[in-house]
Amino acid sequence: MSAETPADPPEGAADATPQTPAAGKATAKPARAPRVADAEATAQQPTAAKAGGEKAATAKKAPAKKAAAAKATAETASADKPAAPKKAASARKAASAKKPVGEKAADKQAERGASSRKASKAAAKAPRRRVVRAHARYVRTSARKARMVCGHLRGKSVQEARAILAFTPREVARDWSKLLESAVANAESNHELLEDDLIVREAYADEGPTIKRFRPRAMGRATPIRKRTSHLTITLTPRPEPGTTKRHG
C-alpha cells in the first residue's frame, strides 16, 4: 500500500493544466494594447496642451502689441500737437518782427477802432432816457458871471432850481429862470413829460461874440469898451428809477 505510485492524471486534466498559462497569455495580449494606446494618448495630450498654450499666448500677445502700437501713436500725436501751436506762434512773431513800424501802428489802430465800435454798439443797445434842451443865445452877460449861477442848478429838480434862482442876488439869474421855464415847456408839450419827474441834467454857459465900442478919453485918446455876450444851455431829463445808478444818453 505504501509503494503505490501516484495515479496518472486523466487526459482531460493533463490537457487543462498546460492550457491555463496559454489562455492567460492570450488574454494579456489584448489588455496590453489599450495600455499602449493610452500611453500614446497621454503622450499626445501634453503636446496638444503645449500647442494650445502657445496659440493662446500668441493670441494674447497680438492685442498687447496692438495696444502698445496704439499708445505709441497716441504719444507721438500728443507730442506733435503742442509743436504745431509753437510753430504757429513763432511764425507769427517772425512775421510781426518783419513788419515795419507803420504797419504795426496801423494794426493797433484797427484793433482800437474795432473795440470802440463794439463799445458803441453795446451802448446803443442800452435803453436811453429822453433829454430835453433849451438854449438862450447872445445873452448880454459874460460867461464867467453866468457860470457862477448855473453851478448850483445841476442835479436839482425843477422846483429846487426855481427856488435857487428866485433867491439868487444876480442879474443873470433872471435869464436862467426864463431858460428853465422854456425847457419845462418843451418837455411837456413836445415830449409829453411831467414837470415833477424832471431834473436838471446839464446847465452850462459858453462865450459868445464880444461887442466892441470906444470911449473918448483925455488928450484925444480913445479907450475900447468890450461888451461880452454868452450862450446859455439847460438840459432836462426824467428822474432815474430807484435802483439804477447809471446814466444813459
Q: Which helix (H) or strand (E) holds 138?
A: strand 132-139
Pair 179, 100 in one domain: no
In this prediction, residue 26 carries a pLDDT of 43
Both 119 and 146 in a single domain?
no
Q: Is 55 inside any structural domain?
A: no
User: How confident is the model at residue 111, as a pLDDT?
Assistant: 80
Mean predicted lDDT score pLDDT of the chain: 74
Count of domains for the chain: 2
Q: Are residues 95 and 197 in the same domain?
A: no
Handedness of CA 27, 28, 32, 34 (dihedral sign): positive
Report the C-alpha gap between 229 and 5 in whole angstroms: 185
| Helix extents (H) in 99-157 | 101-125, 143-150
In the chain, where does DSSP find H-type helix?
11-98, 101-125, 143-150, 158-166, 172-190
C-alpha distances in angstroms, 176 versus 3, 135, 194?
Answer: 184, 10, 20
Last residue of a domain, one of 126, 157, 184: 126
State how far the Cα of 98 lies from the Cα of 102, in Å rounded to an integer: 12
Q: Are 235 and 204 in contact (CB under 8 A)?
A: no
Q: What is the SS3 assignment for 223?
A: strand
97 with 183, same domain: the answer is no
Q: Give residue 173's domain range.
A: 127-238
Q: Which residue has the cell 512773431?
A: 93
Whether 177 and 226 map to the same domain: the answer is: yes
153 shares its domain with 223 = yes
With a cut of 80, say whether residue 218 has pLDDT above it: yes
* Per-residue pLDDT, 3: 46
Q: Which of 71-80, 106-115, 123-132 has the lowest mean pLDDT?
A: 71-80
Q: What is the pLDDT of residues 167-181, one digit of tens each?
A: 999 999 999 999 999
Residue 25 lies in a domain: no
Per-residue pLDDT at 17: 44
CATH number at residue 167: 3.90.470.10
Share of the chain above pLDDT 70, in %: 53
What sign has the CA pseudo-torsion 113, 115, 116, 118?
Answer: positive
